[in-house]
């Protein structure tokens, strides 16, 4: 939700005010965009701050831009190629809305101008597979995580590396059991919506990690719990939303301060949820999808009311929303992605 705050500020600067979406009554299809099978599915999607542009990252390394209303591809930033590495994460620069960051399993972050199509720069993380990237609420820093267990913090003016918080290994000296760095792959990083120095991460090691960029060691504490396998952590106020790759208790809210589960959100399924993607859609609505149902499901937080769902022909691997849920994108292993909308 740090991103949502930045989006609201940018919209306000442009004189645009979004009316709150009333209680959502249904989830409707706007457009289905079919893809060639050589694209190897969709691994990341991201709307710009107005919801007028959608970036899509593919399994074969391509990055394309689409008009969400028509489904028309407006620009190809990076071509798909046979044997290409997946684009696991996409993020628009919060201070420069025409700049897009794309993180790949080759260990590169590619930086593009979405208006001109020009590649502005490249960041290399040697030996890493980058699964996640997120910007802080003031837009001056971003952090990455992936296969090598390290969390790296960069500044956004020149995209220079500021800190590397190394993952745990047999040589790591641990003074507090509750302050252990990543022990397995990292799949999700989200900055705190009200504090530019704090971010959380999650991955295969069944813990939420709390980090502080002002600290030389970075790691502040661990919250035992969710098994994270995708971009499935989000934050709002003092709550951490997690979507974990488990059959039961897959969609939960944790209290940031106590580390306890404060809400079990009923994710509709028959044979297990197994989530790869989860996020807030607006203040009282969340969405999640994965391989258990091969669908994206939208649920009201307070009532656990199931608003609606959308079925794919394979696992859901990526989802994003904009404008309080007025527009949603979802994609996965199937050769298509879909634009949806909540209707109140």
Please state the domain extents for the chain: 2-343
Residues 6+ apart with CB under 8 A from 101: 89, 90, 91, 92, 93, 109, 110, 111, 133, 142
End-to-end CA distance of the chain: 21
Question: Rounded distance, CA 321 to CA 341, Å?
Answer: 9
- Give me the count of residues in the chain: 344
pLDDT of the residue at 297: 98
pLDDT of the residue at 12: 74
pLDDT of the residue at 75: 98
**Which of 342, 298, 288 shows the shortest CA–CA distance to 319?**
288
Q: What is the dihedral of CA 72, 77, 79, 80, to 10 degrees?
A: -70
pLDDT of the residue at 121: 97
Q: Are 185 and 147 in contact (CB under 8 A)?
A: yes
pLDDT of the residue at 267: 97
Question: Rounded distance, CA 249 to CA 251, Å?
Answer: 6
Question: Rounded distance, CA 344 to CA 341, Å?
Answer: 10
pLDDT of the residue at 174: 61
**Which of 297, 255, 258 shows the shortest CA–CA distance to 274?**
297
Question: Rounded distance, CA 218 to CA 181, Å?
Answer: 9
**Which of 182, 243, 254 shows the shortest CA–CA distance to 218?**
182
Point out the residues of the chain with pLDDT beneath 50: none
pLDDT of the residue at 176: 67
pTM: 0.95
Helices (H), 14-57: none
Burial class (CB in 10 A: 0-12, 13-18, 19+), 148: buried
Three-state DSSP state, 7: helix
Q: Is 205 left (phi over 0), alpha (psi -120 to 50) or beta?
A: alpha
Element of type H or E holding 279: strand 275-282
| Radius of gyration of the chain from its Cα atoms, rounded to whole angstroms | 18
- Tens digit of each residue's pLDDT (9 = 90 or more) over 26-79: 999 999 999 999 999 999 999 999 999 999 999 999 999 999 999 999 999 999
CATH number of this structure's domain 2-343, picked from the four choices 2.130.10.10, 3.30.450.20, 3.40.1080.10, 3.30.70.600: 2.130.10.10
- Tens digit of each residue's pLDDT (9 = 90 or more) over 162-192: 999 999 876 665 666 677 889 999 999 999 9
């Amino acid at each position: 939700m740090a991103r949502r705050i930045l989006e609201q500020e940018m919209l306000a600067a442009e004189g645009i005010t979004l009316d709150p979406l009333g209680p959502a009554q249904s989830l409707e299809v706007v457009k289905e965009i079919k893809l060639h099978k050589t694209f190897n599915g969709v691994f990341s999607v991201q709307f710009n701050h107005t919801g007028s542009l959608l970036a899509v990252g593919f399994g074969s390394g391509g990055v394309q831009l689409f008009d969400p209303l028509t489904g028309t591809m407006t620009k190809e930033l990076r071509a798909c190629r046979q044997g290409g590495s997946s684009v696991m994460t996409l993020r628009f620069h919060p201070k420069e809305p025409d700049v897009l960051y794309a993180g790949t399993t080759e260990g590169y972050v590619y930086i593009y101008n979405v208006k001109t199509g020009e590649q502005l720069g490249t960041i290399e993380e040697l030996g890493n597979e980058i699964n996640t990237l997120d910007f802080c609420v003031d837009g001056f820093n971003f952090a990455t995580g992936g296969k090598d267990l390290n969390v790296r913090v960069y500044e956004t003016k020149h995209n220079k590396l500021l800190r590397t918080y190394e993952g745990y290994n047999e040589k790591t000296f641990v003074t507090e059991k509750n302050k252990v760095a990543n022990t397995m792959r990292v799949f999700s990083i989200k900055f705190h919506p009200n504090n530019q120095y704090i971010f959380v991460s999650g991955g295969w090691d069944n813990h939420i990690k709390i980090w502080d960029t002002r600290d030389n060691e970075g790691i502040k504490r661990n919250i035992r719990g969710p098994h994270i396998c995708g971009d499935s952590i989000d934050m709002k106020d003092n709550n951490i939303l997690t979507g974990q790759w488990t059959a039961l208790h897959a969609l939960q809210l944790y209290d940031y301060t106590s580390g306890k589960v404060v809400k079990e959100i009923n994710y509709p399924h028959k044979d297990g949820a197994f989530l790869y993607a989860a996020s807030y859609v607006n203040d009282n609505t969340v969405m999640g999808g994965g391989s258990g149902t091969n669908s994206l499901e939208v649920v009201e937080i307070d009532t656990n009311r199931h608003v609606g769902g959308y079925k794919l022909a394979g696992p859901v691997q990526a989802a994003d929303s904009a404008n309080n849920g007025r527009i949603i994108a979802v994609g996965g292993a199937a050769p298509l992605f879909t634009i949806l909308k909540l209707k109140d």
